[in-house]
Amino acid sequence: MPHDSQAPQLRTLLLTDLCDSTVLVEKLGDGPAAALFRDHDRLVLELQQRWRGRLIDRSDGLLLLFERPLDGLGFALDYRRGLEALGNAHRTDPLLARAGLHVGEVLIWRNSEEAVNAGAKPVEIEGLAKPFTARLMQLARPGQILLSSVVEPLVRRSVRELGERGNELQWRSHGRWLFKGVPEVQEVHEVGESGLAPLRAPRGDAKARREMPVWRRPVAIAAEVVVVVGLVVGGWFMTRPEPAIAFSERDWVVVGDLRNLTGQTVLDDSLEQAFRISIGQSRYVNVLSELKVQQTLQQMRLDPDKAVLDRNLASQVALRDGARAVIIPTVSEVDDRLQFSIELVDPATQATVYADHATGRGLNSVLGSIDEVSGKLRGNLGEAIASISASATPLPQATTSDLNALRAYALAESAMARMKFDEAGPLYASAIRIDPTFARAHLGMASIAWARSEQQAAVLHVQDAKKVRDQLMPRDQLFVDVWEAEVSPRGDSLAQWLALAKMYPDDFAAQSNASWYLLVDSRFEEALRHAWAATVPQAPRRATTLAHVARAHNALGQPEEALKALDDAGPGAALSSMGTRAESLMLLGRRDEARKLLAQVGPESGKVMWLLAQRLLATMALEDGDVGQAVQLSSMVRDEARNLPDPFPRHFQVAHLAVLSAAGRSIPRSELETTERLLAAALADPGRVSRHEDLFRMAALSYIAQRSGETALARRWMDWLEPQVAGSGNPMAEKMLAIARANQLRLDGKVEEGIARLTPQLDGSELVQARLVMRDLYRDGVRADEAAAQDAWLHARRGRAWAEPALAQLLLPLNAMAAVPRPAAPTWQQGHAR
């Protein structure tokens, strides 16, 4: 079965058709025609590599996808030249192709290997952009390259990258056209090189016809006088233009910089942020984040701190990032009243298609005006009234009524978008000093504290936000719920992230965090779906989520796809995803490349990251049978971690014991007891935020003690641990304890009880060690077939063994060794092997 398609992705589509190809074959004959088409295929491959295209389909024509519109244009221009040279070389009539170039959203998915073997294409795409590009291509004359109105300004602005060649291109507008199956009138453009391009209006057909202006239609001439009179009379009743943008649910808007015409600086940032908050509560309209806008400005080689997001620049950002509209907010003083107004701008034409305003007396009125304008805008864009009413909490109540607090918060959010925590922290604190009930500011402080591992400070800020939860807007209420679960000792916020992602599918933080916690829960297919949803072009931190995509692919035994995702993430994510890339290379058998990559991670990259890289190298040494090297590296990691802040010393201590256990080394009882005391001291505080992590470590330590023969220690620890884990409600700690309990039953000779205890765990989201213990239970129960099935499961899921993220891959050495295929024991030994 084919993989499910993921969220729509914005891509450049190029469709070409080789004109009169059937006539060409008849004229040349089969042999010469085959030689020509072989050369044609080499030309296509060369151009595909040069312009970074992805070939989706080919027959008499080509369907290619590109990341950048300019790459699609470069391919089309070079293809036009290449066909001319090809025709000359094979002494044929001029070879010409029609070409259509468009930018739009498509769904992309890969067919299964079985489907490909049966004749299906490796990759499929669908979406309205595909048939529209086909209509555009069919409209073109032979040798003509036609562009949609979406792609034309994009390539025209970037064509300077083609150098002198770009300056010599010829451009034509061929007016507005009606295409069959496309509801809106479309502007059609042509580009080409002098002497090669027709530069003439296309010929219409049954599937495409040019829109004829009303005044040129014979039927309308007689009515022109009536129309003019009607316009004059009707003008008295027209107060504002109606929206002319075909806005759809979940389309994107860019909010431009606020134009403050009042001279009151307190309004500069506060009102723009308030409008963002108000419109951002919608489940219908998506607002491009400040971080994503800043990233796009940097790609345009502009300084985000200096660039003014006016009508022109905001429209350029919208076209680059696939936003349907630009909103320009303005605040001004009219007749001693404060007026907040907005313009809805079509980024393709930069024309205002809708405008509205609201007025009030005094500064205290302006937030109410924003609510009024925002609600009417959402309705005019097509959102249901019921949906608008559901998020109609007044801004002063949902945020703050103090504009100074709101301005401090706005400046803090801008600093956070630039990852400047030291700048954002005092600004959030200033907002809280002005208004202690400002929930959003408390959540901002919580996020900074969490990032700095100041967990208890994060808890306090979340508690303050929770006090006013009921007066917040619905989306903000969900954020409070997420944070409450995130900082709780239970440590399981998956349900809250999933709820937020379901309610707001384009909330990229929700989708990305949901994907991570699904990975932790070993629900890799689900994780992949949510991760892909957070990797669309509008996502500001798509590189981070692509690392989640890669980890899921590794776990599913698809390391090639993992590498593709990491390559797509670009160099900015290279360091943070180094371990995942090394795992992909290792799973592909490229072990030397993996070692070389990990060797590049030094202490200067961050001490924790360096230690995790060394631990991966230790596990690789275990797989290679170099136990001495593995133990040496693991000991070094443990020793270096002793000077790190909590919880790293005890984490890497347990991790070192896992390496010793996987290596078959005997662990002194004294070292096990020392480790237990470290964990017990941390668990003495029942309100500790990271308590669930130490419960998992304690259960893992019990399991390691069993493997080292210290069953009495393990049993005593588990007896104390069981009520603690049951009260925590953390599913990962419960899974680890169930594994240790089942293994203890096996060691006590209670095989059937152990099987019954562990069987509910095997639901597809189990830890790898659950399968290992179940295999040993079946072996001890002399159930050879069932034991062999568990062995087969382990050996078929080497990627899962390496990619399982549970608690920073604490069990990785044990998983890796469990997944290494070993010769089957002779029949007479089955049931007794360990």
**Domain extents for the chain?**
9-215, 251-372, 414-486, 606-834
Res. 4: pLDDT tops 60 = no
The pLDDT tens digits for 437-463 are 999 999 999 999 988 878 889 999 999
Res. 207: pLDDT tops 60 = yes
132: which 2 tokens?
């529209």
User: What is the per-residue pLDDT for 423?
Assistant: 93
3-state secondary structure of 355: strand
In 3D space, the residue among 480, 467, 401 whose CA is nearest the CA of residue 440 turns out to be 480
User: What is the per-residue pLDDT for 120?
Assistant: 74
360: which 2 tokens?
């009030």
Rounded to the nearest integer, the mean pLDDT of the chain is: 88
What would the 3-class secondary structure string for 193-234 be? ECCCCCCCCCCCECCEEECCCHHHCHHHHCCHHHHHHHHHHH
For residue 575, the 8-state DSSP code is: T
The rounded distance, in Å, linking the Cα atoms of 288 and 267 is: 21
Res. 302: pLDDT tops 80 = yes
668 versus 335: the higher-pLDDT residue is 668
3-state secondary structure of 303: coil
DSSP-assigned states of every residue in 581-594: HHHHHHHTT-HHHH
Angle at alpha carbon of residue 158, lines to 153 and 161, rounded to 5°: 155
Long-range contacts of 61-65 (CB under 8 A, 24+ apart): 61/15, 61/16, 61/17, 61/18, 61/97, 61/137, 62/14, 62/15, 62/16, 63/13, 63/14, 63/15, 63/125, 63/130, 64/13, 64/14, 65/11, 65/12, 65/13, 65/14, 65/106, 65/108, 65/125
The rounded distance, in Å, linking the Cα atoms of 736 and 135 is: 58
User: What is the per-residue pLDDT for 670?
Assistant: 96
Cβ–Cβ < 8 Å for 371, 394: yes
The rounded distance, in Å, linking the Cα atoms of 458 and 455 is: 5
369: which 2 tokens?
């005006």
The rounded distance, in Å, linking the Cα atoms of 565 and 558 is: 11
Fold annotation for 606-834: 1.25.40
In 3D space, the residue among 167, 171, 169, 165 whose CA is nearest the CA of residue 152 turns out to be 171
User: What is the per-residue pLDDT for 572?
Assistant: 63
Cβ–Cβ < 8 Å for 811, 701: no
207 versus 46: the higher-pLDDT residue is 46
The rounded distance, in Å, linking the Cα atoms of 504 and 601 is: 38
66 C-beta neighbours (distance < 10 Å), count:
22
Which residues, in sequence order, are bridge partners of residue 178?
A: 209
User: What is the per-residue pLDDT for 430?
Assistant: 94
User: What is the per-residue pLDDT for 1?
Assistant: 34
For a pLDDT cut of 70, what percent of the chain falls above it? 93
The pLDDT tens digits for 624-653 are 999 999 999 999 999 999 999 888 999 999
Q: Same CATH fold, 606-834 and 414-486?
A: yes
The beta strand positions in 84-194, using DSSP E, are 97-110, 123-126, 145-148, 169-179, 186-193
Half-sphere exposure of 607 (CA within 13 A, CB side): 13
3-state secondary structure of 686: coil
The pLDDT tens digits for 86-129 are 998 988 888 999 999 999 888 888 888 887 777 678 888 988 88
The contacts of residue 644 (CB under 8 Å, 6+ apart) are: 607, 608, 652
Return the amino acid letter for 3.
Answer: H
Res. 604: pLDDT tops 70 = yes
User: What is the per-residue pLDDT for 360?
Assistant: 92
Terminal Cα distance for the chain, rounded: 39
The contacts of residue 369 (CB under 8 Å, 6+ apart) are: 338, 339, 340, 357, 358, 359, 360
For residue 63, the 8-state DSSP code is: E
Cβ–Cβ < 8 Å for 724, 695: yes
CATH architecture of 9-215: 2-Layer Sandwich (3.30)
Q: Which segment of 76-85, 285-294, 332-341 scores lowest on mean pLDDT?
A: 332-341
Task: Looking at mean pLDDT, say which of 166-175, 373-382, 810-819 comes out highest.
Answer: 810-819
Q: If pLDDT is split at 50, 70 and 90, which confidence band does 222 have?
A: very low
Res. 829: pLDDT tops 80 = no
CATH architecture of 251-372: 3-Layer(aba) Sandwich (3.40)
Q: If pLDDT is split at 50, 70 and 90, which confidence band does 822 have?
A: low
774 C-beta neighbours (distance < 10 Å), count:
27
Cβ–Cβ < 8 Å for 764, 521: no
For residue 237, the 8-state DSSP code is: T
The pLDDT tens digits for 779-791 are 999 999 999 999 9
The rounded distance, in Å, linking the Cα atoms of 11 and 9 is: 6
The average pLDDT across 801-821 equals: 93
User: What is the per-residue pLDDT for 573?
Assistant: 66
Q: Where are the alpha helices (DSSP H) in 236-283?
A: 267-280
The pLDDT tens digits for 54-97 are 999 887 789 999 999 999 999 999 999 999 999 989 888 889 99
795 C-beta neighbours (distance < 10 Å), count:
14
DSSP-assigned states of every residue in 319-388: HHHT-SEEEEEEEEEETTEEEEEEEEEETTTTEEEEEEEEEESSGGGHHHHHHHHHHHHHHHTT--HHHH
Q: If pLDDT is split at 50, 70 and 90, which confidence band does 527 have?
A: very high
The average pLDDT across 236-257 equals: 70
The rounded distance, in Å, linking the Cα atoms of 46 and 141 is: 25
Phi, psi of 564, rounded to the nearest 5 degrees = -65, -40
The CATH number given to 414-486 is 1.25.40
4 versus 18: the higher-pLDDT residue is 18
The rounded distance, in Å, linking the Cα atoms of 726 and 730 is: 8
Cβ–Cβ < 8 Å for 58, 8: no
Half-sphere exposure of 787 (CA within 13 A, CB side): 19
452 C-beta neighbours (distance < 10 Å), count:
12
Q: If pLDDT is split at 50, 70 and 90, which confidence band does 388 have?
A: confident
Q: Which segment of 278-282, 573-577, 590-594 scores lowest on mean pLDDT?
A: 573-577
User: What is the per-residue pLDDT for 248?
Assistant: 85
195 versus 285: the higher-pLDDT residue is 285
For residue 710, the 8-state DSSP code is: -
Record the pTM.
0.69
User: What is the per-residue pLDDT for 224?
Assistant: 47
Q: Which segment of 406-410, 490-494, 520-524, 666-670 scores lowest on mean pLDDT?
A: 490-494
